[in-house]
Amino acid sequence: MRLALTFLTAAAVLVGATAANAQTIDCGRIQSTHGRGAMFRHYDATVALEASDTTTCDEASQILSAWLETDNPAQGEWFCQSSHGATDVIGTCAKGTAAATATGEFEVAIEKRCGGVRAFSTSCRSARRIARRAARAPRRGGCAVVKGHRLGMKKGCRISGYRCRDRKVNARTSQIRCLRGQRKEVNFRLRRAATA
């Protein structure tokens, strides 16, 4: 027991000495906004590097950017984690005697399951309404048209500011994707009833 306490005390002294030798460097900003709807991702952050080794600001910025792009916490020798709470720190990556912190804003599309409809940056009520309207025939204010043996969207379909397009899933089903701007998206399947 005494040996374990001695070891922990020595480790604490070593960490304290390393932190005392470390300096905090302002490494500038990293930012990116890309994707649409379900693929939307945005970050705008200031990078601070606390290092007592040979880590550069470029390396720290690249590691943080790669992590924010992929959500993979393992970035080579670096390990990254999110920061939750009232602070504006969006995460930290660390390796050996270096740590890089990103402070700023981070947004990704968050999926809402609304029955048979998936919504991103849209309320379930609006998403279901858009799906219902799009599934109507054009003469009833919708966009659903027959394409072979399946239903799909007519070309240039617009419902409440959303542009809707279809992708064939199988002979009777289409996947519908409706986008509005960069962030809002509604997804649902459109099936044609089997005929006797």
User: Percent of the chain beyond pLDDT 70?
Assistant: 85
According to DSSP, the residues that pair with 72 across neighbouring strands are none
**CA gap 10, 128 in Å, rounded:** 61
- Strand order across the 89-95 sheet: 23-34, 41-51, 98-108, 89-95, 78-82, 74-75
Both ends of the chain: CA-CA distance in Å? 79
The tens digit of pLDDT for each residue in 91-108 reads: 899 998 899 999 999 888
> What's the pLDDT score for residue 3?
33
Q: Residue 8: what pLDDT?
A: 29
* Rounded Cα gap, residues 168 and 120, in angstroms: 21
Please give the residue that has the higher pLDDT: either 52 or 181.
181
Residue-level pLDDT at 27: 93
Give pLDDT tens digits for 44-81: 999 999 987 888 999 999 999 999 988 889 999 999 99
Instruction: With a cut of 90, say whether residue 172 has pLDDT above it.
Output: no
